[in-house]
A and B are shown apart, each in its own frame.
Chain A
Amino acid sequence: MITALVTIAVLAALAGIATVATASNASEPSLVERIDALLPQTQCRRCTFAGCRPYAEAIAQGAADINQCPPGGERTAKALARLMGVEPKPVGKEFGTVPDYPAVAFIDESVCIGCTKCIQACPVDAIVGASRHMHTVIAADCTGCELCIPPCPVDCIVMRPAPGVVQ
């Protein structure tokens, strides 16, 4: 009987070690971080929150639904649904339409007056320029959030397909 007890104890210890070794350790990302990792990081605020991270926090707290991210589209909504263990659903119409292709902002440099308002609006520092000098969008860095369009006093910013998009 002693042997049996020892055997069971050893097996239990081994199982315990395996469990501890595979259980969540300190470096494992938190729920908010895992949600944030699924979001497209456009920082466009169409979800009604102040950026991707605040939206992630809201989802984690249950204050927001998983279908509020139009730039992420169906894929993000699906991934979020899977992570949160809820039924997937299409992106809500009230948050905007899902773009058909990735777009970036383009400044018509002949019209730009160099007011720097768009530079202040850009959440990801993708517009360069100085006061009274024309501005330009770094296409590779633009997330297509469209936040630069409303502040422009001369309406010289338009959205164009991102480079590499085949139409």
Chain B
Amino acid sequence: MIPRQAIRGGLRIEAHKARSTKHPIRAASLSAHYVLPLDQHSGLPALPLVKVGDRVRMFQPIAQPAPGISAWLHAPASGEVIAIEPRPAPHRLGAPTLSIVISNDGRDEPFDNAAAVSDFEQISPKEACEHIARGGIVGLGGAAFPTANKLESSLCENGPQLLLNGAECEPYISCDEVLMRERADDIVFGARALLHALCATHCTIAIEDDVPEAQKALSAAIEKACDSRIRLKVVPAIYPAGGERQLISTVFGVEVPHDGLPADIGVVCQNVGTAAAIARWIRDRQPLISRIVTVTGDGVRDAANLETRIGTPFASLIADGGGYTERMSRLIMGGSMMGAPLPHDDLPVIKATNCIVAASALDLQPRGAEMPCIRCGACSYVCPAYLLPQQLHWYLHPYDSEQLQRHGLLDCIECGCCDFVCPSQIPLAERFRETKPVLIRELDSRRDADAARARFHARNARLERLEAEHRAKLAEKRRPKIGPSSS
């Protein structure tokens, strides 16, 4: 059965997942040190709760969320805080960012999170949100948006639709696929917790049509849970079907407004990995201190999916995969389409690390020399945001902010589809990624200028009015001197 394709655009590309899904999930080896960047989630950096020299136990909260959008951090092992200093981080492409460094004493003494509750049905939805926040849960799909913040902003009266994203469309990444295969019960448990926290009545788990084993496991888990609110929806394996906005239009047939959030149309989207992490926190009292990381690519000897503690160095994961092959050439965090290129492997796994690709020349299709755009339109046929990348490229040089805005540069999701198909080998995604902040800055300064102009005019009008009133008063005062008023 091939489901109807509701999104336009996208690519059917080779998934490269078979290598890493051959074996079941195994635990990554423990590390001597764990490095935890304080800003590894979206929003504001967390505030440290520990000092250098403090002893911490496994699961102990070591940083609390800053006011606003932020998340808790927990110690992945027991040991000592040996530094709080800037360390290179993968989400900063290797640039240093303030991190807590914990040495592992190897004893794994657990910290008892006394606040933990195991029966979420007993607490109110609001308490459930707060509880999820205390577990340090963030979106594990790659953006690491704090889950509790997302839930709180999505609460609505008749309850939103919950959408669990199991459509892992990017090539190479298979951590969600193995999770769905092996821990489907966790996902269903997490889904029920999320349904409760959101007062939602329906949960749809989206899964791609090329992972039959995971589909079977999930169906079985849903049946076992006897929860009629949860259903499975198979979507076509098209990149980027798993993009939040693309998935919503595939599953529900409605689009998310360009200036809004999924919550505006009554949908909350969460990754299946996030649901499983919530299950572990609520049921097993384990906050988010580990995640499944896919290690794959032709540059590593054995591909695998490893249950990895947050903060483990990449190099240690590569060692778990048997080390680099001599063909190794590029290190990527994420998939081959949107993954971040990393300059070295002395970087910690963060909550958003779903995959590490050690890519060799066999994985990378070298780009040819860049040619001028021939406006063939191949890019516009694959754009999942329905843009005209060839026109955007045309207006990049000379830079024309008005046309770029009109042609929707800010609606670009940087998926790289246009780049992939471009016969002229133009690095379109990179150009758009670079130009978006420039355009945003310009629009901001224009908005500020408009506001300043409005205030200036308002002030001038006010001064004129005051002046006129003043003159009228003067005239009023002078009048009696000329003659008594008749009234």
Contacts and interface: CB of A to CB of B under 8 A. Distances in A.
Interface in A108-166: 123-126, 141, 143
A154 B332 CA distance: 58
A51 B456 CA distance: 9
Interface in A29-48: 36-37, 39-43
A80 interface: no
A141 B452 contact: yes
Contact of A41 (B450, B458, B459): B450
B32 interface: no
A143 B450 CA distance: 11
A105 interface: no
Interface string B446-463: 101111110110110000
Contact of B458 (A36, A37, A125, A126): A125
Interface in A78-127: 123-126
Contacts of A124: 452, 455-456, 459
B153 interface: no
Interface residues of B, number: 12
A59 interface: no
B118 interface: no
Contacts of A52: 453, 456
A123 B459 contact: yes
B449 A39 contact: yes
Contacts, number: 33
B445 interface: yes
B358 to A, nearest CB: 34
Given A123-B459, A125-B458, A125-B459, A43 B452 contact: yes
B455 A125 contact: yes
A141 B445 CA distance: 12
A12 B250 CA distance: 46
A70 to B, nearest CB: 15
B455 A126 contact: yes
A41 B448 CA distance: 9
Contacts of B456: 41, 43, 51-52, 123-124
A70 B451 CA distance: 20
B453 A36 contact: yes
Interface in B427-484: 445-446, 448-453, 455-456, 458-459
B458 A141 contact: no
B454 to A, nearest CB: 9
Nearest to A51: B456
Nearest to A79: B401
Contacts of B449: 39-41
B398 to A, nearest CB: 9
Nearest to B455: A124
Contacts of B453: 36, 41, 52-53
Contacts of B451: 141
B112 to A, nearest CB: 42
Contacts of B455: 124-126, 141
A143 B452 CA distance: 7
Contacts of A141: 451-452, 455
A166 to B, nearest CB: 12
Nearest to B453: A41
Contacts of B459: 123-125
A141 to B, nearest CB: 7
Contacts of B450: 41
A124 B454 CA distance: 8
Contacts of A125: 455, 458-459
A125 B455 CA distance: 7
A143 B446 CA distance: 12
A37 B448 CA distance: 12
A126 B456 CA distance: 10
B204 to A, nearest CB: 39
A53 B450 CA distance: 12
Nearest to A52: B453
Nearest to A164: B444
Listed residue (A36, A40, A41, A52) with the most chain B CB atoms within 10 angstroms of its CB: A41
A96 B448 CA distance: 22
A147 to B, nearest CB: 12
Contacts of B446: 37
B383 to A, nearest CB: 27
A65 B287 CA distance: 64
B445 A40 contact: yes
A33 B408 CA distance: 25
Nearest to B398: A82
A28 to B, nearest CB: 14
Interface string A51-70: 11100000000000000000
A51 B450 CA distance: 14
Interface string B290-327: 00000000000000000000000000000000000000
Contacts of A43: 452, 456
A39 B458 CA distance: 18
A19 B403 CA distance: 21
Contacts of A143: 448, 452
Given A39-B449, A123-B459, A125-B459, 14 more contacts: A37-B446, A40-B445, A41-B449, A41-B453, A42-B452, A43-B456, A51-B456, A124-B452, A124-B455, A124-B456, A125-B455, A126-B455, A141-B452, A143-B448
Interface of A: 36-37, 39-43, 51-53, 123-126, 141, 143
13 contacts: A36-B453, A40-B445, A41-B448, A43-B456, A52-B453, A52-B456, A53-B453, A123-B456, A123-B459, A124-B452, A125-B459, A126-B455, A141-B451
The 7 closest A-B pairs by CB, nearest first: A41-B449, A41-B452, A124-B455, A41-B453, A143-B452, A124-B452, A125-B455
